Structure 1
Amino acid sequence: MGDLGRGMLYPDEQAAFVDLDRHDPGPEVARFVEFYWHVRWNVAEPYETKVLTHPNVHLVFEEPEPQVYGVNRGLFVRRLEGRGQVLGVKFRPGCFRPFTGVRVADLADRRVPAARFFGPAVVETCRAVLRAGGPAEMVARAEEFLLPRLPAPDPVAEQVAGMVERITASPALFRVDQAAAALHVSVRTLQRLFAEYVGAGPKWVMRRARLHEAAARADRGDDVDWAALADDLGYCDQSHLIRDFTAAVGVPPARYARS
């Protein structure tokens, strides 16, 4: 199984019938796109794949038509049946905003036909992508489509992408006021920028990063000291971590680790 980063739940279970791989974008596209991801599956019985998503918008080339997925603030669940594949474009946090003309918060927890943002040509491109001979050719066709449609650079989008990176990489930032102070903006400015560019608030981004760490620790297969981890991640106690994890994933962390 390839590495799509944190958030894919039950990775060992899925490895039996789901192939994942990622591809870096070219230098011109990399200002906007974090990476391309390809998923191919072959299941005898329907299977639900589950993802603790990140603060990113995705363009997905899939049947019956390509879709834009806003930030899913819950648990993303996709039902896989038979054989199939999709190719996704994972935009950097904040960097889908220059394509839209709308607040990215308006896309949260939604999927929208990609033609709304990229015009009808994206539908034919989707067919070409899914007919391609392999992941590398699929990525090449998607990038050929994006290149002439790249918007002008948006320095605010770049700034917001850096803010998200700083927050998710800083376990010592537990509260929005701490994050705002570290980023040298007011709380109100931080919240406004995240609504406009990211699609989820800074509190959600910090909480989701902590849950990614908890799930990653559980996936390693080692015994986890949940009380110590809760302290490391800034929770007031172990029960708070358990409540947060259970609400997001659907099972307590210790049970998830045993599954």
Structure 2
Amino acid sequence: MAAPRRDTKGIVDAAELFSHVRFRRREPAEPLRPYLEHYWLIDWDLPEPYASHVVPHPSVNVVFQRSGAGGPGDFRDLGEVAGIGLELFTKKLDGTGRVCGVQFRPGGFRPFAPARPVRDWTGRHLALDAVFPAAAVDGAAPAVLAPDDEDARVAALDAFLLSVGPEADPQADLAIAVVERIRSDRSMRRVGQLARAEGLSTRSLQRLFSTYVGVGPKWVILRYRIHDALDVAETGAVVDWAAVAADLGYADQAHLVRDFTATVGVPPTAYATQT
């Protein structure tokens, strides 16, 4: 599998975020790579609160977070499963803290939690033991978060995930491949077109996405379009938004502006001015 991405897709004003936190991505152990995008690690020590904003990917995340004022013992460790976020995600960072996160490939989470369809987690944040067996999560958060050595944190993430899965599932492999096709082939702009390309009925494709991805294929297509539009807005250049809309497969500029505003909170022209 490819090394962790280097892009900043989905991060609103990435330069501002990186000026406040130390952010990096790490590669998981070999058996986990077909199912995971990467691990993402963040550390901060802030004199003033800072709010980060992300347009979520169509991915489930497992997130371990340590937060506190920085004194000995003055922290708490939490672990949760974060289903696909349907809206702009805002996180307030304060004091001293660290996050060790796992971003699954779209379609890649269910082999680790096969008892429920992934749609059951969409838009929700749940404690680890609500998704995984209690025995598996006991002590997982401190094991991941306590080491100051970054390699040790990555090793603890590997150990946790290998303890809960993955279970081989050809349908998960198919879902991962179909979403990757959406992400890499921008000519795939319609659900019916995608279904035909995959040799599936539209209903079968929608069932696959509901069970294994957590959102429908149309939602995934639109979300990747917004990520691309966000990248364009971040460039600081004068943008022909009508041309961008056409390149992304929108019927017209108004439809792009509507989706961008609904997701990010401001129109693309206003966002480009702010960054």
TM-score (norm 1): 0.95
Q: Report runs of 4+ in structure 1 exceeding 4 Å deviation.
A: none
Between the aligned partners of 1:34 and 1:16, the Cα distance in structure 2 is 24
Closer, same or farther in 2 for the Cα pair 1:13/1:57, shift >3 Å? same
SS for the counterpart of 1:25 is coil
User: Identical aligned pairs, as a percentage?
Assistant: 43
Between the aligned partners of 1:99 and 1:218, the Cα distance in structure 2 is 36
| Structure 1: gaps of 5 or more residues | none
Asked if 2 retains the 8 angstrom alpha-carbon contact of 1:3 and 1:21, the reply is no
| Structure 2: gaps of 5 or more residues | 67-76
Closer, same or farther in 2 for the Cα pair 1:255/1:8, shift >3 Å? same
Between the aligned partners of 1:182 and 1:24, the Cα distance in structure 2 is 31
Match of 2:87 among 74, 83, 106: 74
Report the counterpart of residue 72 of structure 2 in structure 1: none
Instruction: List per-residue Cα deviations over 1:14-46 (Å, max 9, x = no partner).
Output: 121111100111111113222111011232222
Match of 2:56 among 11, 36, 53: 53
Match of 1:235 among 222, 227, 250: 250
Instruction: List per-residue Cα deviations over 1:187-210 (Å, max 9, x = no partner).
Output: 101110000000111011000010
Report the counterpart of residue 86 of structure 1 in structure 2: 99
- Give matches, 1:82-231, under 5 Å: 82-100=95-113, 101-120=115-134, 121-231=136-246
Between the aligned partners of 1:145 and 1:110, the Cα distance in structure 2 is 21
Closer, same or farther in 2 for the Cα pair 1:200/1:229, shift >3 Å? same
Question: Quick one: which amino acid aligns to residue 43 of structure 1?
Answer: L
**How many residue pairs align between the two structures?**
258
Between the aligned partners of 1:135 and 1:9, the Cα distance in structure 2 is 26
Asked if 1 retains the 8 angstrom alpha-carbon contact of 2:206 and 2:217, the reply is yes
How much does 1:140 deviate?
A: 0.9
Match of 1:40 among 30, 35, 43: 43
Between the aligned partners of 2:102 and 2:213, the Cα distance in structure 1 is 16
Closer, same or farther in 2 for the Cα pair 1:56/1:135, shift >3 Å? same
Between the aligned partners of 1:169 and 1:24, the Cα distance in structure 2 is 21
Between the aligned partners of 1:241 and 1:50, the Cα distance in structure 2 is 20
Between the aligned partners of 2:167 and 2:191, the Cα distance in structure 1 is 30
SS for the counterpart of 2:30 is coil
How much does 1:123 deviate?
A: 4.1
RMSD: 1.5
Instruction: List per-residue Cα deviations over 1:206-226 (Å, max 9, x = no partner).
Output: 000100000011112222111
Between the aligned partners of 2:164 and 2:121, the Cα distance in structure 1 is 20
